[in-house]
Homo-oligomer: A and B are copies of this chain.
Amino acid sequence: MYRTHNCGELRMEHVGQEVTLSGWVQGSRDIGFMMYTDLRDRYGLTQLLFNEEITDKDLFEKARTLGREYVIRVTGKVIERISKNPNLPTGNIEVEVSELEILNASKVPPFTITDETDGGDDLRMKYRYLDLRRKTVQQNLFFRSRLAVETRNYLSQEGFVEVETPVLIKSTPEGARDFVVPSRMNKGQFYALPQSPQTFKQILMVAGFDKYFQIVKCFRDEDLRADRQPEFTQIDCEMSFVTQEDILNTFEGLTKYLFKTVKDIDLPEFPRMFYDDALRLYGSDKPDTRFGMQFVELNDLAKGKGFPVFDNAELVVGICAEGAAGNYSNKDIKKLTEWMQRPQIDAKGLVYVKFNEDGSVKSSVGKFYSEEDLRAWGEKFDAKPGDMLLILCGETEKTRKQLNELRLEMGSRLGLRDPQTFKPLWVVDFPLLEWDEETERFHAMHHPFTSPKKHDVERMLNGDHETMKALRADAYDLVINGVEIGGGSIRIHDRELQSKNFKLLGFTPEEAEAQFGFLLGAFEYGAPPHGGIAFGFDRLCTVMSGQSSIRDFIAFPKNNQGRDMMIDAPSDIHDEQLEELSLLVNIKEE
């Protein structure tokens, strides 16, 4: 037997008992005739005492050979500590060791196994098994596990059935790039890994499953960014005979339940915001509503006063940074302007208006506008003495995006984005289609299966090109603290409407049939009205923990090149494997 107790459970009530513990050596303090060793496992830390005067010499000498991360088994008596440690749940006791077995030795780890480690990213990923020993990383993954358990509890209680959909499916050119899997038995053909179980869950609704969910791996072969992984996990759901309202209520319920059970936070009712308002007021379809600083448009006040830059702009729009006037010297403003002019944001310039504490007004466009003009702006922003307006201008869409970046930056600088404050928000009424000027075609804003709003169905079936741009969808996103946690829509369940949508998206009837014939077919055999949603599970874990990197919530993440540094994958495969798959590798020189 390796243990009678784990390293986190011994208390005063165990004093006098003989116990056996197993775990890792966290460290030792040798004070000559006695040695204290901290023994660690997933459950906690227990202090071991090797006392030369009590135990035999050999055991004491053996104890002295123990290095960090050695795995040992000890037997001994639980005794009360003389100097207790109130910060440790086991801090009242220690174990006086009478038997010691070294189960496995350990080389000196390449970085320290502590909450704050000295290991760099690459080293930590290569030795992920050591990184995963750190309490902070373990806690993240235990949190994730707990969140999955509670998600399943809630959805099961609500009558959802978890159904596993296949991983080896069919490649579809729509959307992001697929990972593909060559088929040996069907030579020259390929499976694809699912980007989402979208069509399968719709098929389950056609099959009468009524309420489906799945916590499921999905795959996208995209160029990676910090918050993207080639494989990621979704809480995927679908319901029949529902309206948008039913879905929002159900998943607002799930979100509240998770915050309550896992973090003991009671969230009030989630506000809802129209997509158009989100863009107008925050320049983003995922606004961070932990703080206000809403956009105020100045076209009416700022144009026609002889400042050509504003006069020629489609939109003049700004934000009010509360209490910032006194903290931004000309040099600071210049730096901020340069930050906005970086290629990532690409703003032309930045106009400021300071309403100083002493009542004076100062602005970079002071020569074009009277103090009265500027005070009128201030009124529109509801600015108080000490506040500073930051104003951009240009083409509407672009300017809003730029101002969104500035708003988030100012929010951070002003300490308005506390990671342990949670502000969920439903963004609703997304456009159905997005017109791409470059390729001169429509893209699905959500995906090709999204239904237009009921009152837009007729317009969609019979309207002209311009009408299509104005169609709104029963599509919605859940946003928390500026992060898109999930999105979904009511789906089309009518063959004619679905065919029309495919046509608008540029599919020929033959392509639509080849890719989605099974779904169009299914719609002819009694498909119910249905809709659903998917939450990004990795992101949900990250945001709920008040953190920002999804990698810290994935046991074995891949790096920006899509590599698993620990197992060193992907890798070459044997020629025989390629031959069996009827494939040749053909790398072109660049």
Contacts and interface: CB of A to CB of B under 8 A. Distances in A.
A43 interface: yes
Contacts of A200: 555-556
Interface string A512-533: 0000011001111111110000
B219 A41 contact: no
A179 interface: yes
Given A69-B525, A207-B133, A566-B518, A185 B555 contact: no
A573 to B, nearest CB: 5
Contact of A221 (B73, B184, B566): B184
B130 A525 contact: yes
Contacts of A73: 241
Contact of A209 (B138, B569, B580): B138
Contacts of A127: 521, 525
A191 B517 CA distance: 30
B526 A69 contact: yes
B104 A494 contact: yes
A343 B321 CA distance: 85
A249 interface: no
Contacts of A69: 525-526
A448 B112 CA distance: 31
A65 interface: no
A563 to B, nearest CB: 7
B43 A210 contact: yes
Given A164-B233, A181-B181, A582 B583 contact: no
25 contacts: A40-B208, A42-B210, A127-B525, A132-B204, A138-B207, A145-B162, A149-B152, A167-B193, A170-B567, A170-B568, A170-B571, A171-B577, A178-B577, A179-B181, A180-B182, A182-B182, A186-B562, A189-B572, A189-B573, A190-B571, A191-B569, A192-B573, A200-B556, A217-B217, A582-B585
Nearest to A110: B525
Nearest to A574: B173
A275 interface: no
Nearest to A132: B207
A59 interface: no
Given A149-B162, A231-B167, A570-B191, A22 B585 contact: no
Contact of A585 (B1, B529, B583): B583
A42 B209 contact: yes
A574 B527 CA distance: 31
Nearest to A581: B180
Interface in A117-134: 127-133
A24 B204 CA distance: 14
Contact of A572 (B188, B562, B586): B188
A3 interface: yes
Contacts of A164: 217, 233, 554-555
Interface in A357-413: none
Contact of A208 (B1, B24, B523, B584): B24
B526 A104 contact: yes
A161 interface: yes
Given A2-B243, A129-B206, A162 B148 contact: yes
A169 interface: yes
A571 B148 CA distance: 34
Contacts of A132: 203-204, 207-209
A142 interface: yes
A318 interface: no
Nearest to A563: B186
